[in-house]
Chain A
Amino acid sequence: MKRYLLSRLWQSVVTLILATIVVFAGVRALPGDPALALAGEDRDPESLRAIREQYGLDDSLLVQFWQFVSHAARGDLGRSIRTGEPVGSMIAGALPVTIELSILAILVASVIGVGAGVVAAVRRGRPAEWAANALALLGLSVPNFWLGLMAILYLSVALGLFPASGFVPFFSNPIDNLHHLVLPALILGTGLAAVIMRQTRSSMLDALSADYIRTAEAKGLSPRAVIGKHALRNSLIVVVTIVGLQLGALISGAVVTERIFALPGFGKLTVDAVFQRDYPVIQAVVLVTATAYIVINLLVDLLYSVIDPRIRVRGDA
């Protein structure tokens, strides 16, 4: 177990270092003089010199890289060239929205995906399986931002069931907060639910034909108890695995969903930064996303080895 943990940790550190190098190199690859790019509209030589000074652009690449890493490690991600606000605090303000949205989406997707997957496996060859399969196929094929537009158009604007946009912080009004996030979470969760459903179905089908299930049935356990107990344990593994695998899609999806529902989260920050050519923000957003991806995946793998002891054994071998 310890060896597995250490090697997994080491891999994550290597990936993180490589990712940092990529982001650093990406910023150097900006077209033209980075000082010009950072200056935006302001092109007078005095401010260019100030920018060079501030960002140490005349230092050697190695020194610049070290500066970049050590500042980032202290949470100093520079200042927005549009608002002058520290990028670190902009991100700190936006992240909670995105994290809450993502967690809600994972919850929604798990409930729908696991439920439909279990039904599809148990009701083999019946209309219920057919319907669940069709829904999963649709979920994989529908552009979720379009589904979001349709939901706003028909559920929010026409029927007035949900607010079409906007955000209320959880701690100022939890009910209102959830009311604003239900629809975005449902939309963001569609694709994830489809993938979870398919995986749950096939792992349930495997499990239902496994020896231990036959043993459980032979012991006289009711079908409900057998499915309930083993489905629950299995589905936990499925959800954790899929969330790990689909994390990239989830992050991308969150950006679009926030854009459609005008949620003041990480995605809005990202897209706005691109249009305003706010390079320090873009750089920080990319770095934070990569770091978050690597850390969450590490946690998912660790969690995975806690839930499924077979992983631990394999890691030790």
Chain B
Amino acid sequence: MSGHAHHGPPSAPSAVAVTPPATAKAPEVSSWKLLATLAIGGAAAGLLVVAVYKATLPTIEQYAAAKEATAVREVLKAPARWDTLYLQKGVLTKSPTSGEDRKGLPKAYLGFDADGKKLGAAVTAQEPGFQEEVLLMIGFEPSSGTLIGFKVLAEKETPGLGDKIERDTSFVSQFAGRIAPLKGVKTRNATDPSQVQTITGATISSRAVIRIINHAVERWQPLLAAYEKGRTK
């Protein structure tokens, strides 16, 4: 019922008199006109969306980069600098061959302290938690598998219960110094460096964190070792 372009022309009063405009039969609109309406509308909408996308993209990417840097700093306990390594064709490299989109490659961050001593590596890993995928950034010392720390980058666990894997500081802080593969327990034996205490009420989410860390260390350890070997050669 948009407007009146399709109603009978007002210059035909007799037709209007017999049938009120509300029930007037709209004359056939040519398909070309409908097509033109949608084509012009679609093109205008597309242009507008692309313009705003282009305008906002730098800010959005800047934010993502800043967030990544904050996470690396946090899980490697404030490194002075770090190298970004890209996993290309099963090999870690500082400079991936061009032609491939860098953004799409899995990344590892190798952190160093002010004296150039290697602190450890930070990697991201994602696996199912209690409800949805949990995305972690994990910092660890590759040769021994000793953890430095981890940070939850994304989770949709139960608010107030499962999301304690992010908010419960006593759970998060206990990972530093633990050696993978980790085991989740209800009460920790203080002398066992592989044990991690799970959160009461968030057992499945805690176990998901432990599983993600174990898998990530298992996956990245040989890759990082191969990279070190290739560099010292």
- A, B from the same assembly: no
The interface of chain A, by Cβ under 8 A from chain B, is none
